[in-house]
Structures are given as structure tokens and as C-alpha cells.
A and B are shown apart, each in its own frame.
Chain A
Amino acid sequence: GAVVSQHPSWVICKSGTSVKIECRSLDFQATTMFWYRQFPKQSLMLMATSNEGSKATYEQGVEKDKFLINHASLTLSTLTVTSAHPEDSSFYICSARQGVPNEQFFGPGTRLTVL
């Protein structure tokens, strides 16, 4: 149980286009989902916290107009990278939390390459 999926696993896009990444909790309802960014050989950096039915809260330094997050249901959150540029190329990871206990289940990640 407690499986989180991400789609797509890998995406290449042209500079200036927008890319949507989906995060789904497959067998549980996630009260909260988190979006992280991971640069090569570096740690995960929290970008934003997504709660179903409410606006996402973004960490300091993360542009909310650039990284649009929608949490439409208890099993789906989406991250849209708008007007992507090469510096947005990274590995994006989501996680989902059931609530109690305080445990996050991680997706496999999405590799974004912006040309």
C-alpha cells in the first residue's frame, strides 16, 4: 500500500512552453502533498505544500506564478512549470502524506529537460 505515482517520468520541452506534472496517491487519500526539486547529486528542496481544496503554500524563493500547483482531489496534485527555461531543468519529486502518522510517501520523480 501507500503508493505514489508521477506522470510523466521524463519530459523534454522547448523553452517558453509549459509542462504539467501529475502526482497521484494510488491507494490512499492524501491530505497533503509536497513538491520537491532535486538538482544532480544534491538534496531535495521543498518547493511547496499542497492541501486539497486550498491554495498551495510556497517556500521562500519559489515563484508561485512560475510553478502552479493545483490539488483538485485527495488523490491528485499537479505542478505546472509555466514558460519553462533551461534553468528549470531538474528532477521534480512529489510526496503524499496521509496525515497520521506523520509519514510521507514519495513518487518516483519526473525528469524535466528544457531545451
Chain B
Amino acid sequence: AQRVTQPEKLLSVFKGAPVELKCNYSYSGSPELFWYVQYSRQRLQLLLRHISRESIKGFTADLNKGETSFHLKKPFAQEEDSAMYYCALSTGGTSYGKLTFGQGTILTVHP
């Protein structure tokens, strides 16, 4: 079975500092990886997906199949980036579309 691990439950940085939220996965096939963000009192929303290879709100994430990682990075954190971040994995076949979520990382960006 697939698994997503986010080793850091809490991450604090100062405004302007680089930030990296770690995500590791285990899956024997070719997964689709996502990062979702949940701002305070808001619903979960897609931040980015590995297949689109785009940068959203300054965040990027590269799928490293060798290390089975999909870490989320931003060179200069902003206070408005404070939120809960979830890494998620989707597999193919009969489970296509189902998401397996990591435990989440609460990012706090201090002024």
C-alpha cells in the first residue's frame, strides 16, 4: 500500500527566509504527487501538482523518484504563507483519483 510521510508536524521560519516542507512517499508504481494548502478557517485547496511543473505563489516542488521525495520549497517565505500544508499521492489503476495524504505540516512564518 502507498504511504506519504511528512516528518515535520510544525515548521517555523522568519519572513524572508527560505522554507522547505519535506514529503516522502512509498509506492511501487508511478504516482502523481500533489501539495494541498489549508489556510486558517478555509477549505483545502490545491497548491501544485508535479505533472504541471509550475510555480504557484512562489512555491515549487520537484519529484525525485530516486529519493521518493516531493519536497515543497520557497526561497523567501511570507507571513501569508502560514498555513497547514499536506502532501498527497494519487495512484493509477482502479484506485485512480484516490488521494493518500501525509500527516500535514503547520508552517508559521514570523514577521
Partners in one complex: yes
Which chain A residues have a beta carbon within 8 Å of chain B's beta carbons? Answer: 4, 32, 34, 42-46, 49, 93, 95, 97, 102-104, 106-109
Main SS at interface, chain A: strand
**A115 and B49 alpha carbons, distance in the complex (Å):** 40
Q: How far is the CB of A43 from chain B (nearest CB, A)?
A: 5
Judge whether A108 and B103 touch: CB under 8 Å: no
Residues of A within 8 A of B49 (CB): 103
Additional A-B contact list (16), CB under 8 Å, known A43-B104, A49-B98, A109-B43 = A32-B97, A34-B97, A34-B98, A43-B86, A43-B102, A43-B103, A44-B99, A45-B101, A95-B44, A102-B32, A102-B90, A104-B46, A106-B36, A106-B43, A106-B45, A108-B43
Q: How many residues of B contact A (CB 8 A)?
A: 19
Chain B positions 78-111 with a Cβ under 8 Å from a chain A Cβ: 86, 90, 96-104
B33, chain A: closest CB distance, angstroms: 11
Shortest Cβ gap from A107 to chain B (Å):
7
